[in-house]
Amino acid sequence: MSERKRMSPERFEAELARHRQLSFAGVDPRGRPLVRVFDVVHHQGRIYMHGAPRGEKLALLGRPLVAHAHRVVAEIPSHFTDPRRACPATTFYASVQVEGQFSTVDALERKAEVLSQLVGGRQATGSFVAMDPAHPEFARLYAKVIDALWVGEFEISARHGRFNFGQHKSAAVAEAILEGLWTRGAAGDIEAIGEILEAHPQRLAPSWSRGPEGTRLCVNLDRRRTEASARLLEGAYWRPNYDLEMLAGVQVAASAWVGLETPEGELVGTARAVSDGVDYAYIGDVMVAEPWRGRGLGKALTRGLLDHPRLRSVRHQFLVTRDAMELYAPLGFDTLGRLGTRTWMRRRPASVESPR
C-alpha cells in the first residue's frame, strides 16, 4: 500500500466512526462464504450490532471475520486536469477494513447499554424512556424485549485504512481538480472540496478561493467552525437577542455557508444564505472581523457566496442592510425599497434566464 494513501490512526478512527453500516464477511463451519450487512454502533473501542437470535449470522460466531466500509467522495473526470487526453475517471474515496471475531453479549445490562447507544445515534429526539436498568419502567418496557434480542460484539484485532483525496498529487494538479469541482457544483462536490483541502500537505488556493491579504475562501464550513463564526456575529445589530448557541445553529442550518480564513487558519469572515435552490435566496450574516475591515474582504466574501453552486443559478437573490448598500451595489444588487431604517436589495444573476 502506498504510504501516502495509508490512513493515520486518527483518520482511520474518524472514518470508521462515521459509518453506521458495515459489511461483515467470513466463512461458516462448512466452508461457505457469508457476507452480512449490520447496523452498528462504535462503543468503547469495539463494534456492536443486534438482530434476531437465529439465522446464518450465528454461524460466524468465533470465526475470523473482516468488516469493510467504502465511501466515494467524488468522481474526477480526466478533463479536469487534461482537456485533450481522455482516460477513465479517477475516484476519490475513503475505505476502512477491520479484522476480528464475533461474540455474543449475554448480560442484560450490557445489552441495554449497547442498544441505548444504537437508539441514541438514530433517534436523538423523542420522549421515549431511556434504556437504563435503573429506570423504574425498564422492566416493563424493555427487559423482556432486550433479553430476546441477539447482541453481537466484534472485537477488532487489526485495522486497515486507505484513502485517495489527491493528497499525493502536485499542488497544480490538485488545484485544477478543485477548479473543476467548484465549476461542476454537483451534489457532494462542496464537501469533496473541503476534504481535498484538508488532506493535501500544501495550502491549496484555486483561483475562486483567493481573497485579499492572503485570505482563502472556505466553502465547506462545518460544526468545527461554528463557534468562531458565531463569535464574529456576536453583537451584530440584526441579531440583538441571539446567544452564541443560537448564532451557531443558524449557520449550520444554512443552504450555503462560506468564510474567509487567514494563512494561519483563523476565521475572519463569514456569510450564509437560505435558498430554495431555484427561485429565491436570502443573503445574511455577512460579517468580517473588525481588524480586517476596509481591505475588501466583505466584497470577496459576498462574491464567493453568490458564486456558490447552491446559489449561482437562483433567479432572485435578496438581502437587507442598514448601511452597506455601497458594498452590495457593485455586485449587482439593486435597491427595491426601504423598510424602516433598512434597505431591501435584489440581485438577478445575468447568467440565469427568467422563466417564460
- List, for residues 137-163, the tens digit of each pLDDT value: 999 999 999 999 999 999 999 999 999
65 plus 121 within the same structural domain:
yes
8 plus 120 within the same structural domain:
yes
135 plus 16 within the same structural domain:
yes
Q: What pLDDT shows up at residue 119? A: 85
Give the domain range for residue 242: 210-347
DSSP β-ladder status, 280-288 and 316-321 = parallel
160 plus 16 within the same structural domain:
yes
309 plus 216 within the same structural domain:
yes
155 plus 236 within the same structural domain:
no
**How many angstroms separate the Cα of 194 from the Cα of each of 48, 70, 156, 266, 335?**
31, 18, 30, 16, 35
Q: What pLDDT shows up at residue 355? A: 54
Q: What pLDDT shows up at residue 120? A: 75
Which helix H or strand E contains 316, and what residues bound it?
A: strand 316-321
**Does residue 68 sit within a domain?**
yes
Domain C-terminal end among 136, 164, 192:
164
Give the model confidence (pLDDT) of 48-88 as tens digits: 999 999 998 999 999 999 999 999 999 999 999 998 888 88
241 plus 316 within the same structural domain:
yes
CA angle at 355 for the pair 350 and 356, rounded to the nearest 5°: 120
**Does residue 226 sit within a domain?**
yes
- CATH number of the domain at 86, please: 2.30.110.10
Query: What is the number of structural domains in the chain?
Result: 2
Mean pLDDT (the chain) is: 93
Which are the contacts of 299, defined by CB distance < 8 A and separation ≥ 6? 327, 330, 331
> DSSP for 242-298?
--HHHHHHHHHT-SEEEEEE-TT--EEEEEEEEE-SSSEEEEEEEEE-GGGTTSSHH
Residues in the chain where the model's pLDDT stays below 70 = 1-2, 121-126, 353-356
**How many angstroms separate the Cα of 5 from the Cα of each of 26, 65, 92, 204?**
26, 24, 11, 18
- The pTM score is 0.89
In percent, how much of the chain has pLDDT > 90?
87
Place of cell 490538485: 174
Give the model confidence (pLDDT) of 193-206 as tens digits: 999 999 999 999 99
Q: What pLDDT shows up at residue 1? A: 46
Say how far residue 88 (Cα) sits from the centre of its chain. 27
152 plus 7 within the same structural domain:
yes
